[in-house]
Amino acid sequence: MLTRQGVLATAVAVALVVAGRLFGIFELFLLGAGGAALVVAAVAATGLTRLRLDVSRQLRPDRLHAGTPSVVELRVSNRGSRRTPLLHLRDVVGELGRAASVVLSPLGPGEEVTAVYSLPSDRRGRLSVGPLEVRVCDPFGLAGLSTPGAPVTALTIWPAVEEVLAPTSLAGHRHDAGDPSGLAVNGEELYGLRPYVDGDDLRRVHWRASAKRDELVVRQDEQPGQGQVIVVLDVRSGVYQGDTFERAVSAAASVLVASARRGLLVRLVTTASHDSGYGGLSGAGGGGWANAGGHDHLDAILEHLAVVEERNLGHLATLVGAVERPGGAQGGPVVVVTGAGSTAASPTHSLGLDGGASARVVVVSFTTAGAKAVSAGTRLIVVDDATPFAAVWNRAMAAATPMTVMRS
C-alpha cells in the first residue's frame, strides 16, 4: 500500500528516530516521529477511502487496418455521495509492459468525465488493452490503493490495404446452365421453359415455343454465377527477406478486399493449410451479401491475416496445382503471393508455370533485390522494396494481357 515515496519517508523517519535516541537529540527524534505519524495518517486515510465508480472503456474502432488511427475512450462516473480524491488510471497496452496513464481531478457526486488516449496501430496483429487499474493516493503520495476498473479488451489490427484494382479482367464467370438458342432477356441467360401460371408477366411468354406446344410457356431465366478469385498466400519460412512478408500479407488483403467490393466471391488459401472457402459481396456496388457469412466472411479472412505468421510448413507448387486444376477455381484467377527467396530460380519456375502453362495464375513476388530475370509467357508481377504494390499491380491489371511480365 505504501508508494515509493512512502517507503522512503518511512525509512527516513525510522533513521531519524534511531539517531535521536542514540545521540540524545530530541529534535531529530521529534522530526522522525512526525514523519512516521504522517505515513500512518496517509495509510489510514487511503485505507478508509471508499469509491463507487462506474468505469467503462471503449475502443474506437475495435477493428481497423494498420496505419488507421485508433483511440481508447475511458468514461468514469462518481456514483458515491462524497467527492473523490485524485484518481490515477493506468491501462496496460500490449505485452511489453507499456501502459497509458491518465490523471483525473477529483469528481463530485454524480459527476462524469471522459478521457481519451491513442493506441499504436502501425502494425497488424492483436493488441491487448488492460486490465485498467484505478489508483487512489493521499495528497502527499505516501500511500496508494488500487482497484480494478475495466477488464482486458483486444484491438484487432488488420493488414494495411492499398487501393488496387480487382482482377475483373482476368476473372471468369461460371454459368450453371445455358441454352443453345442463345436467347436472352434483359441480359439474363435463358435457363429453360415452363408452363404459364396465373400471375406470370405476359412479356416473358415465349410465343414461338408456345405455338409449337399449343400451350403458353414462359422463359425461366437465371443470372450468371458470380466470378471467383482465389488468393494463395505463401507463408513458408525462408521465402521472404527483410520486411517483405508484411508487404505480401498486405498485398493479399488488398486484392481480396478489392475483389469483394467489386462483387467477386473471394477465397484465401495459405501454405499452412488454411482455407477460408468462398464468400463475398453480391453486385458490383457491394450491396448485400451473396452468402450466409456476409461481412463475416471477409472479416474472418482479415482476422486470419492479422495474425498469420511464417511457418515451415506446406508446398506451394502442390497447393497451386490443387486450386488451379479444372474446377478448382471455377475459371477465375488464382493470385499467388510469394517471396523471391534466396535462390536464383524465379517463382514461376518453382511453380512449374514457365511457358504460359496456366493463363489463370498470376504470381506476385516480393523481393528486396529488385526484379529477377524470368521466362516470358507467364503472368508475373515482381515488386521490390522501393515500389508500392498498388502501382505495380494496377499497371498489370490495366494491361490485362494474357501473357505479361511486370517489374517494379
Assess whether the previous peptide bond of 347 is cis (omega < 30° from 0): no
Amino acid occupying residue 293: G
Contacts of 376 (CB under 8 A, 6+ apart): 403, 405
Which residue carries 465508480 as its cell?
A: 53
Q: What distance in Å separates the CA atoms of residue 109 and residue 272, rounded to the nearest whole number?
A: 56
- CA dihedral of residues 365, 371, 375, 380 (deg, nearest 10): 30
Nearest to 278 by CA among 225, 315, 320: 225
Helix (H) or strand (E) holding 104: strand 98-104
Residue 372 C-alpha cell reads as 529477377
* Percentages (nearest 5) of helix, strand, coil residues in the chain: 25, 30, 45
Residue 92 C-alpha cell reads as 496496460
pLDDT (tens, 9 = 90+) of the chain, 408 residues, equals 787 887 888 898 899 889 888 888 888 889 989 888 988 887 887 777 788 899 999 999 988 999 999 999 999 999 988 888 888 899 999 877 789 999 998 899 999 999 999 999 999 999 999 899 998 887 777 877 888 889 999 999 999 999 999 886 564 444 333 333 333 333 444 546 778 776 677 888 888 888 888 888 887 654 445 688 999 999 999 889 888 999 999 999 999 999 998 888 999 999 999 999 888 754 333 333 334 344 688 999 999 999 999 998 888 888 888 887 654 445 688 999 998 765 545 565 556 555 444 567 888 999 876 544 343 334 788 888 888 999 999 988 887 544 344 455
